[in-house]
Amino acid sequence: MTTNKLCNFLQRLHLPLRGVVAPKYSTAVHQQNSLSNKIEFDPSLFKINKKICEPNLSLASLSINSHDFDLPTHRGWINNVIDSPIKKIYDITDPAKNDYSKEDKTTDKTIDLPTNNSSINIEKQAARMIVIRRRKMRRHKLKKLRKKMKFKWAKVKQRRELKKEKAFHAELLAQIHEAEKFDAKKYVQSKFDILDNVRIPSRWKGEILPESMIREFMQKEEEIKQRKLNIPRLKLD
């Protein structure tokens, strides 16, 4: 692109170009020429030309051919103007403002005065309010009393527990002393006496008799029983 612009500018200045033949100013052709043939420059070109240094230079309009510059084509048509892409500038506008209706949506809490209609009976709840107040006062006083008597009641409770503990210890000591006085022989003899004790019935063979007569009959019966069990036997000495 830079070589094309330079050649176009030199053509408008009417400068004589000698020793340089450039039918097409493209990078591809320039590379081929540099590889195949060396370009020789005329030393006369480096001489100062007075006409070039003149202040009034005439510019001539030349027709530009697309084939001289090897511009890319797309399906036979050529873009005459190749501009750089321009960023689209968006307009910054204020955000949409929602116009809300400024209304007071709170409910009306005003209370109207009662009418003077005699048919409407307004119940008086003063008695009920007094009952509620008394109940609350009782709770308040009880709470206040508990807070005041907290330590005193704690002492009373502690003394009561100490008294119970002392009574329990005394009972344990009494049981220990009783256990130390225990005699095993007397206990066993008392049990044997209970077993040896004979119950004397109040009747003998359906007849009510005095206790002495019943004892005699029982002894005789016991003797007869022993005789039957102990029958004398002959023994061979």
Kindly report, residue by residue over 149-189, the tens digit of the pLDDT: 999 999 999 999 999 999 999 999 999 999 999 999 999 99
pLDDT band at 39 (very low <50, low <70, confident <90, very high): very low
pLDDT band at 235 (very low <50, low <70, confident <90, very high): confident
Who has greater pLDDT, 175 or 26?
Answer: 175
pLDDT for 23 equals 46
Q: Of the candidates 21, 18, 14, 72, which has an alpha carbon nearest to the alpha carbon of residue 42?
A: 18
Answer whether 114's CB lies under 8 Å from 122's CB.
Answer: yes
35: pLDDT strictly greater than 50: no
Where along the chain do its domains lie? 2-69, 149-197, 201-230
| CA torsion angle 217 219 220 223 (round to 10) | 160
Q: Is 2 helix (H, G, I), strand (E, B) or coil?
A: helix
Q: b or e along 19-55 (b: 16 or more beta carbons within 10 Å of the residue's beta carbon)?
A: eeeeeebeeeeeeeeeeeeeeeeeeeeeeeeeeeeee
Please give the mean pLDDT across all residues of the chain.
Answer: 73
Share of the chain above pLDDT 70, in %: 53
pLDDT for 20 equals 44
pLDDT band at 36 (very low <50, low <70, confident <90, very high): very low
Cβ within 8 Å of residue 218, ≥6 positions away: 198, 200
The DSSP element (H or E) to which 207 belongs, if any, is strand 207-208
89: pLDDT strictly greater than 80: no
| C-alpha distance across the termini of the chain, in Å | 170
| CA torsion angle 37 39 40 45 (round to 10) | 160
- Phi first, then psi, for residue 176 (nearest 5°) are -65, -45
Pairing assessment for the beta strands 207-208 and 203-204 based on DSSP bridges? antiparallel
61: pLDDT strictly greater than 50: yes
17: pLDDT strictly greater than 50: no
Span 195-202, average pLDDT: 84
